[in-house]
Amino acid sequence: MSSVSDTYIENRQRVQPTHTNNHASAHGGNVVKWMDEVGAMSAMRHAGETCVTAKINELDFKRPIPQGDICVIESYVYAAGRTSVRVRLRAFRESPRSGEREETTESYFVFVAIDEDGKPTSVPELAVESERCQSLREAALRGDPEE
């Protein structure tokens, strides 16, 4: 059984010209792709199985990520069902020189664990052991549109 903290992953992607739209900022589709990839990593870390995207809840783009900045994706599991894993995802723009960071995108994804035949398979319970686990979980539950 993994804890919320065990599933916490933070990944970075430098926004290159091939990642941008006509406004020289990260194309929304690229940001969603990066969120989906990192979210799946958190889900699989908890499930111990391959996980596939089942649902993307509200996706709020609050501000752009300019070309040359870094897109930081923060991901962690905050709830688990019988075969599903709920993951909170946030993206930030980060200045490569100063490290200044601001949130750009937020969403909640649901992944389903699958077996070798592609059939849903059970996942373990999620432990909320430490104060950090509790804090992360509560923050996710406050913003989850399903709650």
Q: Mind listing the pLDDT tens digit for each residue in 89-112? A: 999 999 999 999 999 999 999 999
Q: CA Rg, the chain, in Å?
A: 16
Report the percentage of the chain scoring pLDDT > 70.
99
pLDDT at 147: 63
- Once rounded to an integer, what is the mean pLDDT over residues 62-79? 97
pLDDT at 26: 98
User: What is the domain extent for residue 79?
Assistant: 5-143
The model's pTM is 0.94
Q: Are 7 and 42 spatial neighbours (Cβ–Cβ below 8 Å)?
A: yes
Longest Cα separation, the chain: 47
pLDDT at 144 over 90: no
Residue 78's pLDDT band, with cuts at 50, 70 and 90, is: very high
CATH of the domain at 12: 3.10.129.10
Structural tokens at position 9:
């992953």
Q: Give just the sign of the alpha carbon dihedral 128, 129, 133, 134.
A: positive
- Once rounded to an integer, what is the mean pLDDT over residues 43-71? 96
Domains: count for the chain: 1
